[in-house]
Amino acid sequence: MDNSILREITLGQLLDEAVRNHPDNDAVVYVDRGFRLTYSEFGEVVDQLAKGLMHLGVQHGEKVAVWATNVPYWVALQFATAKIGAVLLTVNTNYKTNELAYILEQSETENIFLIDGFRDTDYVATINELVPELRTMPRGHLKSARFPHLKRVLFLGPEKHRGMYSIPELLALGHMTPQSEYQARQDALNPHDVVNMQYTSGTTGFPKGVMLTHYNIANNGYWIGENQLFTHKDRICLPVPLFHCFGCVLGVLAAVSHGSTLVILEGFNPVHVMASVEQERCTALYGVPTMFIAVLEHRLFPKFDFSSLRTGIMAGSPCPVRVMRQVMEKMYMNDITICYGLTETSPVMTQTRVDDDVNRRVASVGRAMPAIEVRVVDPETNEPVPSGVQGEVCCRGYNVMKGYYNMPEATAQTIDADGWLHSGDLGVMDEEGYLAITGRIKDMIIRGGENIYPREIEEFLYTLEGVSDVQVAGVASRKYGEEVGAFIIPKPGATLTPEEVRDFCRGKIARYKTPRYVAFVDSYPMTASGKIQKYKLREMAAKLFPEAMR
C-alpha cells in the first residue's frame, strides 16, 4: 500500500495549521446557545486549557477521562490534552456507577472531567459516591482508596463543586505556565504516541480500552473528509456523540484537517438538527440510520430548508436502502457517504465515494480507504476467499490500533501475527473491491443446521408497508436450536400483525428464513453510539416467546 500519502503529524499540529490557514473561519458553533468560536479564538482556548492542565501537573502519557455530552469545551479538551501529550479517554455518557468504576480501574486514569449528569444519572453524585475523599481533600491532592491512580477531578463547565477545578479556573491557571515550557512539551511529542483511548461499546464481554495514536486518527480523519470533498467552506452538523469515534474522528478531525466548521449539538434532537442545518446553512450532516429516520418522519420536516446540504455520513449500523434513497432525494444529500469500521481501526476502513453510483452507495459500505488493505477471509482457516464469497472482514494498515490497554491476550486475539485486524464482522467483497456487510459472526442464526444472516431478512422486511425499522435476531428454540425473530417498529398509525408479516414473506424468501416470532416494539436496545445490541434482543426474545423452548 502507498504510505506516502500519510502524514507524520500530531493533533496539535493539525489544529495549528487550521488556525494559520483559516483564522477567521468558524471552528465551533452551537446554534441553541449562541456559542461561536473562530479557529483563531478556538486555538487560544485550547492553548489556555492545555497550559492550565500543565500547571496542575498533568504529565505526558497521563489519561484524562471526559464523561460528558457534547458540551462546549469538549472539543477544546480533545486538542488541549493532545498538545501536552496526555491521552483523552472518552467515557460513554450512558454509563452508571459500576461501569464508570470499571473504566477508572481498568484504565488507571489519573484525571477525569465531568458534567452535572445525563438523563437519570447524576454524574457529580456518582463520582462523590465512588471517590468520597473529594469532599475532604484539597484540590490537587486527591488520594483515593479505591482508585489509587486518580489525582484530579475537574468540572467541564463554570460551576464550582467541592474538590473539583472548573473550566474558568483552569483557563486562568493557564497563565501560570510559561510559553517556553508549553512549547517544549509539544516539541517532545511523537505522532505515534497514544493520544486517545476509547472503550469498545461492550456489545459482548467487558469493554476494552482501544489505544489510538495521533498517526492513526489524524490520517483517518483527513481521508474521511477528503472522500466527502471537504474544504474550509464546508459546515458539518454533528449530532452524534463526541465520546465515540463517529464524533471525535469522523466529525472533529475530518473538519479540522480541512479548516471546516463544526456545528455541534449537545444531544440528538430532530428539530434541533433541522434548525441547525437551516440556520447555519450546513453542507454535511452525520448520523446513524435511526437519526435520519427520525428527521425524515418528523411532522415538521416539510417546514425546514435542507437545500444547503450536499454530503455527510451515515454509519454505526446497516442503512436501509429505502432510507438512503429518501436522504438523497428529500434532503439533497446526493454526495452522502457510508463508512464502515471499528473503534480498533481508527475507525474507518472502507467508505463509499461521492462519485459512486446510487447502487454502490446503498448496497455496499464502499471500498478500502487509501493506504489500508481490506480482505475477506474464511473464519476457520484465515485464508482469503474469492470475490462474492462470504467471510470475516479483516484490515491492515496505518489505522490499526496500538492495542487494548493492559489486555495483551485480547490484543493478540484481534490482531494476528501478520498485522491483520479481525473485525468479527461477516462480509462479501465484489471484484472491484466494494464490501457489503452481511452480519456479525455471533449474530448469525443457525436454525436446524441452516445458517441465516439477519441483514438479508431485515432488508426484505423494510419493503413491507408500515415498517419503520426492523431488526432480526435469533430466538432460542428447543426443537431447532434457534428460530428467526423479527423486532419491528411500525410507522406512526400503521397496524400490523405477526401473521401479516409472515404472509408477506411467504413465497418470497425461504421458509426457514421467515420469522417464526414477531414482536412490535417502540425502540431497540442500543449502545450510545447507535449500534443495536442484538444480544439484548435475544434476551428479550427469551422472555417474549418462552414457548420456543417448550
Q: For residue 180, with 0-12 CB atoms within 10 Å meaning exposed, 13-18 middle and 19 or more buried, which class applies?
A: exposed
pLDDT band at 529 (very low <50, low <70, confident <90, very high): confident
Q: What pLDDT does 17 receive?
A: 98
Q: What pLDDT does 161 receive?
A: 96
Query: Among 73-77, 366-370, 536-540, where is mean pLDDT lowest?
Result: 536-540
Q: Which CATH architecture has domain 39-199?
A: 3-Layer(aba) Sandwich (3.40)
Q: What pLDDT does 204 receive?
A: 47
DSSP 450: E
For 425-483, how does the pLDDT look when each residue is reduced to its tens digit (9 = 90+)?
899 999 999 999 987 777 778 887 677 878 889 989 999 999 999 999 999 888 888 89
Spatial distance between the Cα atoms of 452 and 511, rounded to a whole number of angstroms: 11
Query: Among 158-172, 231-245, 442-456, 460-474, where is mean pLDDT lowest?
Result: 442-456
| The three grid cell numbers given for residue 343, joined into one nine-digit string | 473503534
Give yes or no for residue 381 having a pLDDT over 50: yes
How many other C-beta atoms can be found within 10 angstroms of the C-beta atom of residue 20? 12
Give yes or no for residue 176 having a pLDDT over 70: yes
How many other C-beta atoms can be found within 10 angstroms of the C-beta atom of residue 187? 7
The share of the chain scoring above pLDDT 70, in percent, equals: 98
Spatial distance between the Cα atoms of 189 and 13, rounded to a whole number of angstroms: 10
- Do 109 and 100 meet the contact criterion of CB atoms below 8 Å apart? no
- Do 105 and 89 meet the contact criterion of CB atoms below 8 Å apart? no
Give yes or no for residue 327 having a pLDDT over 90: yes
Where are the domain boundaries for CATH 3.40.50.12780 in the chain?
A: 39-199
Q: What pLDDT does 205 receive?
A: 55
Give the pLDDT mean for 11-23: 98
Q: What pLDDT does 228 receive?
A: 98
For 393-437, how does the pLDDT look when each residue is reduced to its tens digit (9 = 90+)?
999 999 999 999 999 999 999 999 999 999 988 999 999 999 999
445-549 topology per CATH: GMP Synthetase; Chain A, domain 3 (3.30.300)
Give yes or no for residue 201 having a pLDDT over 70: no
Between residues 207 and 246, the one the model is more confident about: 246
pLDDT band at 203 (very low <50, low <70, confident <90, very high): very low
Between residues 481 and 211, the one the model is more confident about: 211
Q: What pLDDT does 306 receive?
A: 98
Where are the domain boundaries for CATH 3.30.300.30 in the chain?
A: 445-549
For 443-452, how does the pLDDT look when each residue is reduced to its tens digit (9 = 90+)?
778 887 677 8
Helices H, strands E: what count in the chain?
18, 28
Give the pLDDT mean for 501-526: 91
Q: What pLDDT does 363 receive?
A: 86
| The three grid cell numbers given for residue 448, joined into one nine-digit string | 436446524
Which pTM value belongs to this model?
A: 0.88
The DSSP string of 326-355 is HHHHHS--TEEEEEEE-GGGSSEEEE--TT
Cis ω for the linkage preceding 191 (within 30 of 0): no
Give yes or no for residue 549 having a pLDDT over 90: no
